[in-house]
Amino acid sequence: MIHIVVHVLLVLALPPLLTGVIARTKAAFAGRNGPPLLQGYYDLARLFRKGSILPEGSGWVFLAGPVAGVAAPLFASLLLPFGGHTAPVSFAGDMILFAYVLALSRFFTAAAALDTGSAFEGMGAAREVAFSCLAEPALFFGFVALARISGSLSLSQMLGTGPGWVTAGAPLVLVAASWAIVLLAENCRIPFDDPNTHLELTMIHEVMVLDHGGPAFGLVLYGASVKLFVLSALFLRVVFPFNVTDPRLDWIAFVAGILLVALSIGVVESVMARLRLVKVPQLLVGACVLSAFGMLLLAR
């Protein structure tokens, strides 16, 4: 019971810290001090105190986007084991629900973007949907490989296969590489998207939420950080599927691992430029191929 409480508290409270860690890492590479680590929380507090303006002609769909953007990743996190602890909700086939709950939030974000009727936002929605079509198979091929290694269809068992690195190291490396790409792509990080750009024509995710302001934009930011947290936890559990014996230490190891993932994202963002938009699908197809080969290696 206590672990469920910790699980929920972590996923509610920790995500904005990740964006702070990424920002500080990038600042360190650029020779700047950077924003405070807790800037994400300050931003949310500021946004939630604001009023909001709705674009003319938009309806409930416009507000459903940010709400689904927070609700879906929070719900998905319940299906995911954090560290060595089992997930609060777990059943055979929950990975499919996990993937499609995340897809649901994307659907609502894209629908909210289209609801504004703006040319930019339609363009962003088209890009986001096209790219996630390619990211999804990479995720699923990885799931199949993990299911095959663990002999289970539930995330809690699939992701706890420490011995998998001994018996099926090669497929796991491929899946981890593929999911690292998916992690960056799904969270709109460099090299796929630049979360800090102000250039609306180059944006993918950011352009879809241009018209959201105040609390709605706060929800968008919070939802994005929760999604980053959830996918980082998923990725972390593939790379580090071992259980620390002491449950308290295990939580600490988990939090440290998540922060390390955020740090690595910051490093990646600091040392490389964005891809040209036409190259993004190619890299995502590459991610698919990686995890598909991971799956094939196990299919003998």
Partner 1 sequence: MAEQLGLRPQGHPWLKPVRYRASWRPGHDAWGRKEGEPILPAVGDFFRVEGTEVHEVAVGPVHAGVIEPGHFRFQCHGERVFHLEIALGFQHRGVEESLLGGPHRQTTARIETLAGDTTIGHATAFSQAVEALSGASAPPRAQAIRGVALELERLANHTGDLGALAGDVGFLPTASFCGRLRGDFLNLTALLCGNRFGRGLVRPGGTLVDLDDALVAELGRRLEEAMKDLRGAAGLLFGAATVLARFEGTGRVDPATAEALGLVGPAARACGVDQDVRRDHPTGIWRFVHVPVMTAYDGDVNGRAFVRWLEAQRSYDFVKAQLATLPKGAVRAAARPIRPEHVAVSLVEGWRGEVCHVAVTDADGRFSRYKVVDPSFHNWMGLAMALRNEEISDFPLCNKSFNLSYCGHDL
From the CB of 189, what's the least distance to partner 1, in Å?
Answer: 10
| Site for partner 1 contains 273 (CB under 8 A) | yes
Binds partner 1 (CB under 8 A): choice among 37, 54, 99, 277: 277
The two three-digit tokens of residue 170, written as one number: 């090669």
Stretch that binds partner 1, among 71-79, 81-89, 135-143, 197-205 (CB under 8 A): 197-205
What SS3 class is residue 257?
A: helix
Binds partner 1 (CB under 8 A): choice among 89, 123, 177, 260: 123
From the CB of 279, what's the least distance to partner 1, in Å?
Answer: 8
Distance from C-alpha of 20 to C-alpha of 39, rounded to nearest angstrom? 6
Distance from C-alpha of 184 to C-alpha of 190, rounded to nearest angstrom? 7
Closest CB to partner 1 among residues 28, 64: 28
| Site for partner 1 contains 194 (CB under 8 A) | yes
Binds partner 1 (CB under 8 A): choice among 269, 291, 295, 298: 269
Long-range CB contacts (within 8 A, 24+) of 21-26: 21/259, 21/262, 21/263, 21/266, 22/189, 22/262, 22/263, 22/265, 22/266, 22/269, 23/266, 24/266, 25/262, 25/263, 25/265, 25/266, 25/267, 25/269, 25/270, 26/266, 26/269, 26/270
Binds partner 1 (CB under 8 A): choice among 100, 120, 165, 240: 120
Spatial neighbors of 13 by CB under 8 A, at least 6 apart, are none
| Site for partner 1 contains 2 (CB under 8 A) | no
Closest CB to partner 1 among residues 37, 277: 277
| Site for partner 1 contains 32 (CB under 8 A) | yes
Q: How far is CA 33 from CA 17, 25, 37, 56, 80, in A?
A: 16, 10, 11, 41, 35
Stretch that binds partner 1, among 6-14, 144-152, 240-248, 273-281 (CB under 8 A): 273-281
What residue type is assigned to position 73 of the chain? P
Closest CB to partner 1 among residues 41, 120: 120
Spatial neighbors of 119 by CB under 8 A, at least 6 apart, are none
| Residues binding partner 1: number (CB under 8 A) | 31
Residues that bind partner 1 (CB under 8 A): 26, 29-32, 119-120, 123, 127, 190-191, 194, 196-202, 210, 269-279
